[in-house]
Amino acid sequence: MKITKKHVIFLVLFAALVFIGRRVNFSPLVGADNQFFTLFQFFGPIAGAFLGPIVGAISVLIAHGTDYIIAGKAFTLVNIVRLTPMIFAAIYFGSRKKLFGKPMLAKIFGVVIPLIAMIAFIMHPVGREAWLYAMFWWVPIIVAILPTRYSDNLILKSFGATFVAHSIGSVAWLYTFPMSPAEWLALMPVVVFERSLFAMGIIGSYFGMNAVLHKVTSKFKIPSDILHVDKSYLISRLFKAKA
């Protein structure tokens, strides 16, 4: 897809959210000093839904890069490791029914990426002893292989996306920072809690951004092939449907 001036509407909004979200700490990262999960984890993947998986992933990269430049942050190994998971999560969340116009490719992506992460985790000497931790990554695989009417569900897609990010981030962390098998296994209850909150955040931020972009696209007559707004998830319509 060619990036047009109208893509900038979303990119500016998204970059502003990234700039704010990355300054609100949520929980510390185990194994590294002064590193935190931030509010960004609650909405990062939604870019893929509105711009398409590839352009959405690019927007995550651009927004992150802009944030680093404005804040004067260095492109350190830790920062690069933390950026990569959200790019994959945006692709997963934005694939929905198709990737590059092919429905099967979206499912393959949703299965292969977490599967590779599992294999990479278990191949590591520490990961081999903490293999149970990698079982979290069956979540995006199961969501991907479900029939489309289920795999395209916002709740399931949100859980799938946050666990795709988790799989990439965990493997990168495993091969970069020293942690014992016991430490990885001890994190499992924390992962359940954090990822559930992240998924709920993705759902909420999607509803909010979907409503904002619906107003923008209606006012400026922006075609749906540029900004994808799902009218079935407009809050006003959901309330009307229940009435």
What average pLDDT does range 53-78 have in this prediction? 77
Query: Using one digit for the tens of pLDDT, what is the confidence trace for 107-154?
Result: 888 899 999 999 999 999 999 999 999 999 999 999 999 888 888 899
* Pairwise CA distance, residues 51 & 61, whole Å: 13
For tokens 């945006």, what's the residue? 90
Query: Using one digit for the tens of pLDDT, what is the confidence trace for 10-43?
Result: 677 777 777 777 777 777 666 555 666 777 787 8
Q: Give the per-residue pLDDT at 239.
A: 56
Q: Give the per-residue pLDDT at 222.
A: 65
Q: Which candidate, 90, 141, 88, places its Cα nearest to that of 119? A: 141
Task: Break the chain into its structural domains and give their ranges.
Answer: 7-237
Q: Give the per-residue pLDDT at 242.
A: 53
1 pLDDT more than 80: no
Q: Give the per-residue pLDDT at 5.
A: 61
For tokens 């897609």, what's the residue? 157
Residue 208 — very low, low, confident or very high, per pLDDT cuts 50/70/90? confident
Residue 94 — very low, low, confident or very high, per pLDDT cuts 50/70/90? confident
Q: How far is CA 61 from CA 3, 14, 51, 142, 179, in A?
A: 14, 11, 13, 27, 28
Q: How far is CA 238 from CA 115, 230, 234, in A?
A: 36, 12, 6
Least confident of 85-94, 96-105, 142-151: 96-105
36 or 238, higher pLDDT: 36
Ramachandran angles phi, psi of 2, nearest 5°: -80, 135
The torsion of the CA quartet 218, 103, 160, 172, rounded to 10 degrees, works out to -110
pTM above 0.75, yes or no: yes
Q: Give the per-residue pLDDT at 70.
A: 78
The torsion of the CA quartet 232, 149, 206, 27, rounded to 10 degrees, works out to 160
Q: At what angle do helices 235-242 and 188-220 cross, to 10 degrees?
A: 100
215 pLDDT more than 90: no
45 and 52 in contact (C-beta within 8 Å)? Answer: no
* Pairwise CA distance, residues 66 & 38, whole Å: 17
Q: Give the per-residue pLDDT at 97.
A: 59
Q: Give the per-residue pLDDT at 162.
A: 94
Query: Reduced to 3 states, what is the DSSP secondary structure of residue 99?
Result: strand
Q: Give the per-residue pLDDT at 83.
A: 78
Please, what is the average pLDDT of the chain?
82
Residue 156 — very low, low, confident or very high, per pLDDT cuts 50/70/90? very high
- Cβ neighbour number for residue 237 with a 10 Å cutoff: 12
